[in-house]
């Protein structure tokens, strides 16, 4: 069996370091925030090339606080994409603001800048592009439109740790960028975690207060805040894992290149496109197939796990029916949701496993 990802293999490769980090937090009793979280914030900011990082408890909380700090309030609109994990839209709704969707580019599956401008209204308070699968959205075009309208861009970089656009790391182009450390992400905690990065001092101060009850100092609540603090143990583990992230990312990219060279010219699937000027970090290796469900069934029969990211775009989810969108509103997203299949990709995977997955993909190519 080839699993979709293998978190046990990752732990086995760094067990000594992780165990020592956990034990040191148990000894220090700094269970919430504390020195390890503060050190992780400095190290992750350096990794992203930003001045600040504020650690929180989930990627969703990171989005929530980043949008609040960017000035989004109840009744405002935030422009994002429907082809994403539901959290991108949920965080907007937490504020009582409204997600306004624009369709994606059919090649990169990220926000189509050509459709962005027509979605902007006087109520638009932020633009939230999603760096889907580990590839950054077309940030030059998005930033140019945002700047012309004076609207801040918040990056949903929850799948894009270390991704780059024209040499700039994810999270550092917008007013802020949000990451998730959910275990399956490229940098994953042993539990939940998230972070906001920013170059802006005022954003940093607001987000830092909001994550810890809006306190300026203890029991002085200047904002209505939240309990979104990161655990000390997660901070310590993330520091260990951050030291391995570049090696892991290069392993993912190597497997992706291997997949794509073997699948070039495939009659059954279309491999993903590594767009020029971007560094794709392959959180997900998604292929496209007109017979996606048939392909997934035949892979299953061959013992190859696969995933769907995501089978229903957010505008067609029952919970978001009140936004008033209908089937047909975002045809590029809807076609992607029908045709996309995620193949196994993780750093500890072997080249042989990549070849086995490709053999399983191709085996029925001429059977019809």
Ligand X SMILES: *Cc1c(COP(=O)(O)O)cnc(C)c1O
Mapped onto helix, strand or coil, the DSSP state of residue 22 is helix
Cβ 226 vs Cβ 220: under 8 Å:
no
Contact string 128-167 vs ligand X (x = CB under 6 A): --x-------------------------x-xx--------
Parallel/antiparallel/unpaired status of strands 220-221 and 154-156:
unpaired
Q: State which of positions 72-101 bind ligand X (CB under 6 A).
A: 84-85, 87-88
The residue among 30 and 186 lying less far from ligand X, judged by its C-beta, is 186
Query: Least distance from C-beta 265 to ligand X, angstroms?
Result: 31
Q: Which one of 56-64, 68-76, 102-110, 360-368 is the stretch in contact with ligand X (CB under 6 A)?
A: 56-64
Q: How far is CA 260 from the centre of its chain?
A: 22
Q: State which of positions 112-131 bind ligand X (CB under 6 A).
A: 130
Question: Does 188 interact with ligand X (rule: CB under 6 A)?
Answer: no
The residue among 242 and 263 lying less far from ligand X, judged by its C-beta, is 242
| Positive or negative: CA dihedral 181, 184, 189, 190 | positive
Give the residue closest to ligand X by C-beta. Answer: 59
Q: Which one of 54-62, 118-126, 267-275, 342-350 is the stretch in contact with ligand X (CB under 6 A)?
A: 54-62
Cβ 22 vs Cβ 237: under 8 Å:
yes
| Positive or negative: CA dihedral 352, 358, 364, 366 | negative
Nearest Cα residue to 71 out of 179, 207, 198, 195: 207
- Given the structure tokens 């399956």, which residue do they identify? 184
Size of residue set near ligand X by CB under 6 A = 15
Contact string 261-300 vs ligand X (x = CB under 6 A): ----------------------------------------
The residue among 88 and 234 lying less far from ligand X, judged by its C-beta, is 88
277: left (phi over 0), alpha (psi -120 to 50) or beta: left
Query: Least distance from C-beta 83 to ligand X, angstroms?
Result: 10
For residue 83, give both structure tokens. 């082809």
For residue 192, give both structure tokens. 């939940």
For residue 88, give both structure tokens. 């991108």
Residues in the site for ligand X, rule: CB under 6 A? 58-60, 84-85, 87-88, 130, 156, 158-159, 180, 182, 192, 194
């Amino acid at each position: 069996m080839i699993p979709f990802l293998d978190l046990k293999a990752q732990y086995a490769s760094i067990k000594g370091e992780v165990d020592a980090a956990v034990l040191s937090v148990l000894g220090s009793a700094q269970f919430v925030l504390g020195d390890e979280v503060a050190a992780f914030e400095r190290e992750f900011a350096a990794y992203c090339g930003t001045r600040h990082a504020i650690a929180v408890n989930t990627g969703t909380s990171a989005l929530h606080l980043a949008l609040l700090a960017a000035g989004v309030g109840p009744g405002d609109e935030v422009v994002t994409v429907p082809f994403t994990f539901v959290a991108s839209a949920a965080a907007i709704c937490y504020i009582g603001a409204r997600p306004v969707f624009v369709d994606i580019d059919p090649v990169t599956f990220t926000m189509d800048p050509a459709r962005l401008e027509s979605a902007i209204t006087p109520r638009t308070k932020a633009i939230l592009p999603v760096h889907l699968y580990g590839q950054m959205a077309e940030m030059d075009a998005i930033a140019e439109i945002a700047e012309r309208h004076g609207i801040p861009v918040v990056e949903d970089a929850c799948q894009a740790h270390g991704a780059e656009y024209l040499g700039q790391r994810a999270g550092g182009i917008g007013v802020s960028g949000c990451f998730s450390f959910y275990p399956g992400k490229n940098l994953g905690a042993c539990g939940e975690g998230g972070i906001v990065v920013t170059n802006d001092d005022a954003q940093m101060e607001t987000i830092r207060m909001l994550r810890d009850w809006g306190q300026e100092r203890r029991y002085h609540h200047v904002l209505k805040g939240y309990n979104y603090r990161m655990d000390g143990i997660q901070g310590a583990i993330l520091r260990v894992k951050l030291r391995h992230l570049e090696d892991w990312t290069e392993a993912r990219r190597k497997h992706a290149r291997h997949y794509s060279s073997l699948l070039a010219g495939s009659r059954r699937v279309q491999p993903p496109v590594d767009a020029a000027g971007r560094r794709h970090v392959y959180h997900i290796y998604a292929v496209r197939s007109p017979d996606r469900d048939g392909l997934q069934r035949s892979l299953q029969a061959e013992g190859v796990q696969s995933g769907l990211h995501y089978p229903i775009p957010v505008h067609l989810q029952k919970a978001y029916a009140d936004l008033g969108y209908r089937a047909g509103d975002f045809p590029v997203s809807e076609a992607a949701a029908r045709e996309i299949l995620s193949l196994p990709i993780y750093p500890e995977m072997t080249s042989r496993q990549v070849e086995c997955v490709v053999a399983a993909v191709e085996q029925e190519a001429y059977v019809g």
